[in-house]
Amino acid sequence: MEKIFLYKVYRYNKKLFFFFLAFAGFSLFCNFAGFEITPFYVWGMYSQKETQPKEYPVFKITANKKLVDYTTGYFPANRFFLLSPLSYYASVKTPEDPTGIFLNEKLGKKYEWAKPYADKVLNSPKEFDKFPGWFKNYIGQTTGEKVQSLKVELFLVSYENNNSIKIDSVHTLIDEK
């Protein structure tokens, strides 16, 4: 018993003990529930079962008629900020925030209770409309050049006999001149 970390903390300082106990308890609860509440993190780390997709999405970003190859030459955080908001924008099928749709499905009628708050937190169609303009500015920040024209295309690609990658279809997401 005396070797147990929390017991030692309890002997030394009860406030600290309850702080650690609460943190550990909430962390375990969040992990059992699979529900993250910062700072009680769920450390999944690629534990979701992957499914074989028919195609893989690849974004082609062209700024001032030059390719922005975000896959090389940029710091990881920069790549994250170039790609992740774009993927989110591309995933939106309707002007409604996907989190709102998710909550509506999960909570059913109870969502009415959360909706006034959700309207303040989730993105409105106006914010989705503003995204291409913001992305243009952020590309400019990243490349160090003022962006006059921006084109973002979504390529759906697949592997050919595992030796090369072929384009199956192309969709234009943003075309700002």
Partner 1 sequence: MKNKTSEIYFSQRQVKILCRIVFSIILIDLLFSAFSNTLVHQLQSPVLKFAYVDPTFWVMHLLKIPGFVASDFYLSWFWDIVLFISCIGILIFPGKKWIILVFIIFYFVYYIIFNSYGAHHTHSLVPFLIVPIPFLFSKRSFAFSWQALRYFLLFAYSAAFLWKLFRLSWLKSGQGILILKKNLTPYLFFNPHTFLAGIYFWFVNHPVFVEVIFFAGFILEGLFLIGFFTKKFDRYLFIISLLLPFGFWFIADAVFYEMVILSLTLLPVSAIEKFSDQRII
Whose Cβ is closer to partner 1: residue 5's or residue 177's?
5
Task: Please state the closest distance from residue 117 (CB atom) to partner 1, in A.
Answer: 6
Minimum CB–partner distance for residue 175 and partner 1 (Å): 18
Q: Which is nearer to partner 1, 102 or 149 (CB)?
A: 102
* Element at 160 (helix H, strand E): strand 150-160
> What values do phi and psi take at 62, rounded to 5?
-120, 115
User: Closer to partner 1 at the Cβ: 73 or 109?
Assistant: 73
Site for partner 1, residues 87 to 126, rule: CB under 8 A: 87-89, 99, 102-103, 117, 120-123
> Is residue 174 within 8 Å of 132, Cβ to Cβ?
yes
Q: Applying CB under 8 A, what is the total number of residues that bind partner 1?
A: 76
Residues between 40 and 69 that touch partner 1 (CB under 8 A) = 41-53, 56, 58-59, 67, 69
H helices then E strands: how many in the chain? 6, 4
171 φ/ψ angles, rounded to the nearest 5 degrees: -130, 130
For β-strands 66-68 and 150-160, DSSP reports them as: unpaired
